Chains A and B, each alone.
Chain A
Amino acid sequence: MSKTISIHSFRGGTGKSNTTANLAAQVAMAGKRVAIVDTDIQSPGIHVLFGLDEKKMGKTLNDFLAGRCPIEEVAFNIGEHVGDAQGRQALIGKDLWLIPSSMNSGEISKILRDGYDVNMMNKGLKTLRKALELDYLFIDTHPGLNEETLLSIVISDVLIIILRPDQQDFQGTAVTVDIARSLDVPAMRLLVNKALTRYDFDQVRATVEASYGVKVSGVLPLNEDMVDMGSADIFSLRYPDHPWSVGIKGVAQDILENL
C-alpha cells in the first residue's frame, strides 16, 4: 500500500520545497519507490533542486490537466538524470520521480484564469501510485488553503505542516491544524524550520507540541549554507553531516518507521 504525504505551510518561503525534496530523496535512499508531485501550480519551484529547467523537464502536470498526455508521461525519472551535482549523484539508480509543474507563464496564467478539473488531478495521483508502484507519494503544495491544498489534505495519509518560529506562522498553522483535524487526516506532524541556532531546540519542540497537540517531527536550524548553495542541489545529500541534514534525516526516519 502506498502512502501519500502532503507537505504544507500556511505561508510561502517556509522551506516547503526544500524539505519535500530532501525528505523524498532520503526516503528513496532507503530503497523506497518515491514520487514527488509539484501541485504548487501557481509558484512551482521544486524542479530547480533536481536540476531541471523548462527545457529539460519535458511534459508537465499542466499538460496532463489539459488532457494533452497521460500522467505517466509527465513523471521525470530523477534516478536516471541527476546531472553533475555533487549531492544528487547519490540518487543514481534510485527509484525517485518528479512530476513537475510548468514554468511557462502562459501555462501558469491559463490555470489561474480557467481553473482545472480536480477530479482529473485526483485520478492522476491515483494512477501514479499504481503505475509507478510507489511506496510514498510526496505532494509539494501551494502555501495557504485552497482547493488543491484541501484535496491533498483529504487524500493524505500523513500531513506535514512546516512552520517558522514566527507569530504569523503560528496563527496560520493553527487554522491548518484545525481544518486537517475536521477532515479526519489520519496522521499529522509539525516541522519547525529556520529556527535560530541560539534557541533551545528541545524547548521549541515542547512549546510547539503543547500548543497544537501535534507531534513535532523535527526542529531544523536556520541554514546559511543552504542559502549559499542557492537551490543548486539536494542539501542533505551534499552535506550529510550538517545539523539541518541530520534533522531532516530524523524526519525521514520518523516517516519510515512510524507513518
Chain B
Amino acid sequence: MSGVFDQLHNQIGGQDEDSGGISPLDLRDLPDNQRRIMRMMITEVELPYTEIREWAEDFMSQDDLDEALADLVMQGWLIRMGETNIVYEANLRRKAGSELAKSVWANLDKKIAEAQKARDEAMEDINNQAS
C-alpha cells in the first residue's frame, strides 16, 4: 500500500512550497531519532533547548541531539529563536485551500481501488489453486 503514502505525500508535499514548514506526513521519512524529536516538539509546540536536552538525555548523546536539531532547523521542521536562551519551535505548514484536498482524494481513491483489485486477483489465484 506504499503507493497511497507516496501519492498523499506528493500531493501534500508538492503544494504551497514557499510558505515553508512541513506536513505531518513528512515525519515518516525522518530518521528515528529526528521523528521522535519532532513528535515531541509538535505536541509541545515550543521548548527551550535545555528542556529538550533533558528529555533526550536517556537515548541520545548531546552531540547527536545538537546535530539532529541543526538538521531539523535546516530542513525547516524547527525554528530556532534567541541567542543565549535558545528556544525551538515546531513549524507546521499552512493548510492550503480545497484544490489540494480534491486531488489527494482522487489519487487515494484510485490507489485503494488498484490495491483492492490486486488483492482480489491474488485471492482468486489462491482459490483457483485450491480447487
Contact = CB atoms under 8 A, between A and B. Distances in A.
A binds B: yes
B95 A147 contact: yes
Given A154-B42, A178-B1, A179-B5, A122 B92 contact: yes
A145 B8 contact: yes
Interface string A181-220: 0111000000000000000000000000000000000000
Contact of B5 (A4, A153, A171, A182): A182
Interface of B: 1, 4-5, 8, 12, 21, 23-25, 27-28, 35-36, 39, 42-45, 90-98, 101, 104-105, 108, 112, 115-116
A183 B98 contact: no
A153 B98 contact: no
22 contacts: A4-B43, A115-B95, A115-B97, A118-B95, A122-B45, A123-B45, A145-B8, A145-B104, A146-B101, A150-B24, A154-B24, A154-B43, A155-B42, A171-B116, A175-B1, A175-B112, A178-B1, A183-B25, A183-B28, A183-B39, A184-B35, A184-B36
Contacts of B36: 184
A30 interface: no
B7 to A, nearest CB: 11
Given A147-B12, A151-B92, A175-B112, A113 B98 contact: yes
A118 B44 CA distance: 14
Interface string A123-157: 10010000000000000000011111011011100
Mostly helix, strand, loop or mixed at chain A's interface? helix
Chain B binding site: helix, strand, loop or mixed by DSSP?
helix
Contacts of B44: 126
B30 to A, nearest CB: 10
Contacts of A179: 5, 25, 28
B25 A150 contact: yes
Contacts of A174: 1
